[in-house]
Amino acid sequence: MKKIVMSAVALTAIIGSASSLSASEDGVNIFNDIKVKGEIRPRYEYANVDKATSTSANAFTSRLHLTVTSGLLSVEGLSATVGVQSVNNFGYTNYNLPGSNANTDSDGLPYDVINDPNVAMLSEASLDYTTGGTTLHAGRSQVNLDNQRFIGTVGWRQLERSYDTVYAANNSIEGLSLLGAYVYGFAGVGGVTTTESNSVLLNVKYKVADALVITAYDYMLNSPTKTGPYAGNDTIGLSLTGKVDLGAKITYRAEYAIQNDATMDFRKTDATADNFKADANYFNLDLAANFSGFIAGLNYEHFSGSESAGTTTFNPALGTNHKFNGWADIFFVGNAGPDGGLNDANLRLGYKTKGFGKLLAVYHNFQADEDMAIVGATGTTTNLGSEIDVVYANKIPGVNGLTGLVKYASYSAGGDETTFKNTNQDKQVAWLQLDYKF
């Protein structure tokens, strides 16, 4: 609680200081065109994993996110941004963070996991300079690339991820967007500790027409430790996206990517680092239609599995994974995905119009890409279960910027227990949320 209060006080002081320094005695503006944005997002989350060794979790949390952007020294195109985000659970701790069993019920059973720590962090601290169609950036900010499959902020979690980057972006040629970034750290989601990184991100997007947008990327991830989900790999991919109006509004996505060994090996310091390998592939096919507010979509997403020693599963470790393979987060890669990889075939149906809001239901069928051994029995299986997700969101009448949301996810385990952590455990998650942006 003290950290959260102190961060809010600190940002208030920054805003006040900026206002008082907006003009100096000689008439040179230090800060100008000051803009303040904010978000308050209270949420209740319920999580239950059907196992005898834990009990269901309940979390009451609220996210406060404030950012201040200002011009600097009256230099055209030069600006600074500072921001904080804090998560408050109001002292209610009937849940655990990943890897912790510290909070227990009256019978001594640990609560299930809800990944929203009670902390505050500096979410933005950057300088930007824009001239013509080029922007130069240095510092901490929140970065989402493309559909956030590989580089994202995990905005659904209360403590959204921030990236420490130096980048150059250019859009001076009509239809063409270029980005080159060096990432030297990131923090958020599970805590405020900064994870050191030595990564390079390259992204090129060209809009031929509304019906065809071509995106090519090379995300060269590397961490000094060479351990865990951020150990490092080189993801190279190409996507084709577009939209056409055939009476119904049709959108599509066709994407393919491969992962090879990390190429940005600045810090190979031991034998373990030198031996780390990556060898995997990915594709995503998506087709959707919207007719008079009715939504229908088909999607198939493939992550190759590890079929033998020397190969790896495809790992989108810095992606906003909650958006994709079921909202119950069974297959969240940061918590170790199945060694056999994942094939996710899913169908979505919904309805969205002004006034009514958005109602969406998604059904997922999960299969492993490679056979996985069955625990306690002979034979193998690829059955990784299924999931049903439902969400309803709408603007709250009478309050500009306020949105309400109800969301539910129900994962049903596969018939056979494998070495993957949750394939023999059902899971249900539910949310009630308000989101106010100003």
Instruction: Please report how many Cα atoms fall inside a 13 Å half-sphere around the Cα of residue 294, on the Cβ side.
Output: 4
Kindly write down the DSSP assignment for every residue of 122-165, as one continuous string.
EEEEEEEEEETTEEEEEEEE----TTSSSS---TTSSS--EEEE
Asked if pLDDT for residue 68 goes beyond 50, the answer is yes
Average pLDDT over residues 103-129: 95
Structural domain includes residue 231: no
Res 226: pLDDT: 56
What is the pTM assigned to this prediction? 0.88
Which DSSP state fits 396?
Answer: P
31: confidence class by pLDDT, cuts 50, 70, 90: confident
Structural domain includes residue 54: yes
Res 81: pLDDT: 97
Q: What percent of the chain shows pLDDT beyond 90?
A: 68
Structural domain includes residue 126: yes
Res 349: pLDDT: 98
Least confident span in 71-85, 181-195, 353-367, 370-384: 370-384
More confidently predicted of 316 and 290: 290
Structural domain includes residue 85: yes
Distance between CA 348 and CA 301 in Å, rounded? 14
Q: What percent of the chain shows pLDDT beyond 70?
A: 84
Domain total for the chain?
Answer: 1
Res 423: pLDDT: 61
Total Cβ atoms within 10 A of residue 24: 10
The single-letter code of the amino acid at 354 is K
Res 313: pLDDT: 83
Give the gyration radius of the chain's Cα atoms. Answer: 23
Sign of CA dihedral 218, 127, 14, 437: negative
Which DSSP state fits 334?
Answer: G
Q: Residue 75 is part of which domain span?
A: 1-131
Q: Please write the tens of the pLDDT for every residue from 39-58.
A: 999 999 999 999 888 999 99
pLDDT, the chain, mean: 87
Q: Please write the tens of the pLDDT for every residue from 245-283.
A: 999 999 999 999 999 887 755 444 444 444 456 788 999
Structural domain includes residue 29: yes
Structural domain includes residue 430: no
Inter-CA distances, 10 with 6, 36, 37, 68, 82, Å: 6, 14, 16, 12, 11
Structural domain includes residue 89: yes
Total Cβ atoms within 10 A of residue 257: 21
1: confidence class by pLDDT, cuts 50, 70, 90: very low
388 alpha-carbon distance from chain centroid: 20
Structural domain includes residue 61: yes
More confidently predicted of 419 and 29: 29
Which is nearest to 259 in space by CA: 227, 282, 228? 282
Average pLDDT over residues 431-437: 98
Res 425: pLDDT: 86
